[in-house]
Amino acid sequence: MTLLEMMVVVAIISLIAGLSYPGVARGMERIRLRVAADDVAAFLSQAMSRVDRTESPIELRFVKSQATIAMAGPDTPLRTLHLPQGVTLSEVYPIPEEGPQPEPTVLLLPGGAFPSLRVELSTLNAGKRSVRIDPVTGVPVIDLSQPAAAVVK
């Protein structure tokens, strides 16, 4: 095996790696978005079960600038969920009448129906996912808001 043959093999491998990188990167973003949606659903479920268990209110604060969700209450220590790098909190619905807020808050009250809350997560190239609470069952549901192929830059 000569040095020239070795360089040709390395060049071919580099070309294949360079051509496949965008697809692999997009796939990693999709995985990151799916994991973030699962984490948000688990965090919301934990907050709702804590409201039922302690019978005390819990405030959920969505900090868009830091991509975090915080949970606190009188009988609950502060807990924070940090979203993975590259995943952002796009919007929290319903939007108040005053308009969008940089740090929307939701108060979960014991003994009442859970709010029809929807949290929209997004990444740059992998699209959007939303996590909503079904007000009837109180179970977080993950929806694919926008397919990755339909994302417009």
The per-residue pLDDT for 121 is: 93
The per-residue pLDDT for 147 is: 44
The dihedral built from the CA positions of residue 79, 141, 151 and 102, taken in this order, carries a sign that is: negative
DSSP state of 143: E
DSSP state of 12: H
Q: Is the pTM of this model over 0.85?
A: no
pLDDT along the chain (153 residues), means of 10: 90 91 84 92 91 90 92 90 91 82 85 83 86 85 61 39
The per-residue pLDDT for 152 is: 38
The per-residue pLDDT for 145 is: 56
The per-residue pLDDT for 148 is: 43
Spell out the domains of the chain, with CATH numbers in brackets: 3-150 (3.55.40.10)
Reduce the DSSP state of residue 19 to 3 states and report it. helix
* DSSP element (H, E) containing 105: strand 105-108
Please give the distance of CA 74 from its chain centroid, rounded to a whole number.
Answer: 26
